[in-house]
């Protein structure tokens, strides 16, 4: 088996957006791949934290290479979420602080900001705050930003952008969310 040698390690900005399934999953898949290369990863989930999801225990298998933080209380304004807007905003602001610290720490080769695109769209974080994270990242650090409605200025700074387009989703047939697939 041939081993590619990455001669020039370039810290990429990768944006995973769109309305289809696969954004967070794709970021988690990069975690599994990165661990195979013995890279260290920090995952910060914006807004998530109210519902149990498999990655909470999944990433424990990858310790000590992976650090995992949930910083929120659910998706603001949808799915019957009862938390006041200002509380979502405070949580997201804390997540931005955490992201800034982790990005600057030098402890990770990859930092994943899960659902940050969504948080920005909802006004829980501000565009200058996100752009500052992108502009201040160490050159060799990969930064992965997920969530619907990625901001055009964020995409403009990224090297790789995928739009996950929903062709079909099981929930439209009334099939409930499935363990391991959807959460």
Smallest distance from the beta carbon of 108 to a second copy, in angstroms?
Answer: 11
Beta bridge partners of 146: 16
Residue pair 35/66 in contact (Cβ under 8 Å)? The answer is yes
Residue pair 1/147 in contact (Cβ under 8 Å)? The answer is no
Residue closer to a second copy, measured from CB, 33 or 104: 33
**Nearest CA among 141, 131, 181, 119 for reference residue 12:** 141
Instruction: Report in angstroms the alpha-carbon separations of 11 from 157, 161, 167.
Output: 12, 14, 31
Smallest distance from the beta carbon of 107 to a second copy, in angstroms?
Answer: 15
Smallest distance from the beta carbon of 181 to a second copy, in angstroms?
Answer: 6
Residue closer to a second copy, measured from CB, 136 or 170: 170
The sign of the CA dihedral 41, 47, 49, 53 is negative
Give the integer Cα–Cα distance in Å for 136 and 48: 25
Rounded to the nearest angstrom, the gap between the alpha carbon of residue 63 and the centroid of all alpha carbons in its chain is: 18
Smallest distance from the beta carbon of 138 to a second copy, in angstroms?
Answer: 14
Residue closer to a second copy, measured from CB, 51 or 136: 51
Smallest distance from the beta carbon of 164 to a second copy, in angstroms?
Answer: 5
Residue closer to a second copy, measured from CB, 135 or 176: 176
Residue closer to a second copy, measured from CB, 135 or 180: 180
């Amino acid at each position: 088996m041939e081993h590619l040698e990455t001669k020039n390690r370039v810290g990429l900005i990768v944006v995973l957006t769109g309305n289809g399934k696969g954004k967070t999953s794709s970021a988690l898949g990069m975690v599994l791949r990165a661990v195979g290369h013995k890279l260290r990863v920090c995952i910060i989930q914006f807004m998530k934290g109210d519902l149990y999801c498999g990655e909470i225990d999944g990433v424990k298998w990858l310790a000590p290479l992976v650090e995992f933080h949930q910083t929120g209380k659910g998706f603001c304004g949808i799915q019957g979420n009862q938390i006041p807007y200002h509380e979502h905003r405070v949580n997201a602001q804390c997540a931005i602080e955490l992201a800034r610290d982790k990005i600057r720490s030098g402890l990770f080769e990859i930092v994943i900001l899960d659902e940050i695109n969504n948080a920005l769209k909802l006004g829980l974080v501000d565009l200058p705050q996100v752009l500052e994270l992108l502009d201040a990242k160490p050159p060799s650090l990969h930064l992965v930003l997920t969530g619907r409605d990625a901001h055009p200025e964020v995409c403009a700074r990224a090297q790789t952008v995928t739009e996950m387009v929903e062709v079909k989703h099981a929930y439209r047939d009334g099939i409930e969310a499935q363990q391991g697939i959807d959460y």
